[in-house]
Chains A and B, each alone.
Chain A
């Protein structure tokens, strides 16, 4: 089992709809959780970070963290074609205190 897992996709979403991305992690003691967006051929850029259970909203993005179930989600509301990218989940695992990335979910927003 990978330490941080994401569905590779592609996740196809109609323009204006909600895109829902999930990330599961193996280490129950993990403390910090990040979502990055990466356009093809570009570097990852931070979208959001979340440290506590519950929801955190920033514009059209909402991160949801459930430590008991060991998953973190990203919702993209009112999806736009410009949201088409690969979304990387990253978790600071308690074991070794290292930041570990999932393989990413590719999102395609269709007009």
Chain B
């Protein structure tokens, strides 16, 4: 177990409400990532972080923001949830310090439903 905890594991929310998902790691790794997984689209990168307060956008970042105030925590916020954001969200950390060229370890995922 790579020491990654995601919370909550399941969430149902209404359209228009803000939602924050949390990823916590105990590995002290520099790089952290948020992905979403949808049928027909596979895993897609939302945002990633290369250090405290250092974040950047992935391929599907619209409608999402992130924050990393401590090495161990990476938060994903849906500013105003929409039904298209219903998905399974995975947090991941890099096994070594070679961003995007290292094996990833994934958290257990958060299943988010926006009604």
Q: Mark A77-100, 1 if CB is under 8 A from B, else 0.
A: 000000000001010100001110
What residues of chain A lie closer than 8 Å to B44, measured between beta carbons? 101
Indicate if the CB atoms of B42 and A98 lie closer than 8 Å: no
Sorting the interface of chain A by its residue count into under 10, 10 to 19, 20 to 34 or 35 or more gives 20 to 34
What residues of chain B lie closer than 8 Å to A36, measured between beta carbons? 104
Q: Which of A43-51, A54-62, A67-75 contacts B (4 or more CB under 8 A)?
A: A43-51
Indicate if the CB atoms of B45 and A44 lie closer than 8 Å: no
Q: Which 6 A-B pairs have the closest CB atoms?
A: A43-B106, A101-B43, A32-B101, A103-B42, A101-B42, A46-B103
Indicate if the CB atoms of B90 and A43 lie closer than 8 Å: yes
Pick 23 A–B contacts, CB within 8 A, sort by A: A31-B101, A34-B104, A36-B104, A42-B108, A43-B90, A43-B107, A43-B108, A44-B43, A44-B106, A46-B95, A46-B103, A46-B104, A46-B105, A88-B43, A90-B43, A90-B104, A92-B101, A97-B99, A99-B45, A99-B101, A102-B42, A103-B42, A104-B42
> How many Å lie between the Cα of A32 and that of B108 in the bound state?
24
> How many Å lie between the Cα of A101 and that of B58 in the bound state?
13
Q: Mark B27-65, 1 if CB is under 8 A from A, else 0.
A: 000000000000011111100000000000011000000
